[in-house]
Amino acid sequence: MAKRLLWLLAAFVVLGGVLAFLSMQEDEPEVAEDETQEETRPLVSVVPANIARHQGYVSVFAEVDPRWSIDLKARVSGTVRSVSMQALAGKRVTKGTQMVRLEQAPYNAELANAQYELANAEFTLRQKRNKSRIAENDWRASRPNENPPEMAIHLPEVQVAESAVEAAKRRVASAQYDVDSTTITAPFDGIITSRSVSIGQSVSAGDTLFTLLDDSQLDIHVSLDARQWALLDKRWSDSRAHILDESGAFIGTATVQSGGGFLDRESRRYQLFLEVDGTENQGALPGQFVTVALPGQAIDNTLEIPESALTPNGFVWYADENDLLRRFEARALFRNDGHVVVRPPETLVEEGALRVLVMPMAAYLPGQKVKPVLEER
Residue 310 structural domain: 42-68+215-377
User: What's the pLDDT at 8?
Assistant: 58
Same domain, 192 and 275: no
Same domain, 375 and 236: yes
User: What's the pLDDT at 233?
Assistant: 81
The percent helix, strand, coil of the chain (3-state, each to 5) is 30, 35, 30
Distance, CA of 69 to CA of 65 (rounded, Å)? 9
CA-nearest of 375, 358, 355, 377 to 50 is 355
Of 180, 210, 240, the one marking the end of a domain is 210
Same domain, 46 and 85: no
Distance, CA of 370 to CA of 44 (rounded, Å)? 7
Q: What is the pLDDT along the chain (377 residues), one digit of tens a residue?
A: 555 655 555 565 555 565 555 454 444 333 343 444 555 788 889 999 999 988 888 888 999 999 899 999 999 999 999 999 988 988 999 999 999 999 999 999 999 999 999 999 999 999 999 999 998 898 888 888 888 888 888 899 999 999 999 999 999 999 999 999 999 999 999 999 999 999 999 999 999 999 999 988 899 999 988 888 888 887 777 788 889 888 888 888 898 888 877 788 888 888 999 999 875 556 888 889 999 988 888 888 898 999 899 999 899 999 998 999 999 999 888 877 788 899 999 888 888 899 999 999 888 899 999 998 888 65
Same domain, 255 and 328: yes
Same domain, 55 and 122: no
Structurally, the chain folds into a number of domains equal to: 2
Single-letter amino acid code for the residue at 172: V
Distance, CA of 207 to CA of 217 (rounded, Å)? 27
C-alpha 268: how far from chain center: 18
Same domain, 263 and 369: yes
Q: 30 in a domain, yes or no?
A: no
Q: 116 in a domain, yes or no?
A: yes
Show the DSSP H helices in 307-364 as ranges: 346-349
CA angle 43, 49, 52 (to 5 degrees): 165
Same domain, 267 and 370: yes
Compute the Cα dihedral for 323, 326, 331, 333 and give only its sign.
negative
User: What's the pLDDT at 33?
Assistant: 38
Q: 238 in a domain, yes or no?
A: yes
Same domain, 296 and 155: no
User: What's the pLDDT at 354?
Assistant: 92
Tell me, what CATH number does 226's domain have? 2.40.30.170
Instruction: Kindly list the distances between the CA atom of residue 295 and the CA atoms of 235, 314, 323, 335, 339, in Å, as whole numbers in the listed order.
Output: 9, 23, 36, 11, 15
Q: 90 in a domain, yes or no?
A: yes
CA angle 124, 128, 134 (to 5 degrees): 145
Same domain, 236 and 269: yes
Instruction: Kindly list the distances between the CA atom of residue 21 and the CA atoms of 15, 18, 24, 61, 199, in Å, as whole numbers in the listed order.
Output: 10, 5, 5, 74, 110
Q: 4 in a domain, yes or no?
A: no
DSSP 281: -
Same domain, 282 and 328: yes
Q: 339 in a domain, yes or no?
A: yes
Same domain, 58 and 102: no
Same domain, 161 and 253: no
User: What's the pLDDT at 229?
Assistant: 86
Q: 5 in a domain, yes or no?
A: no
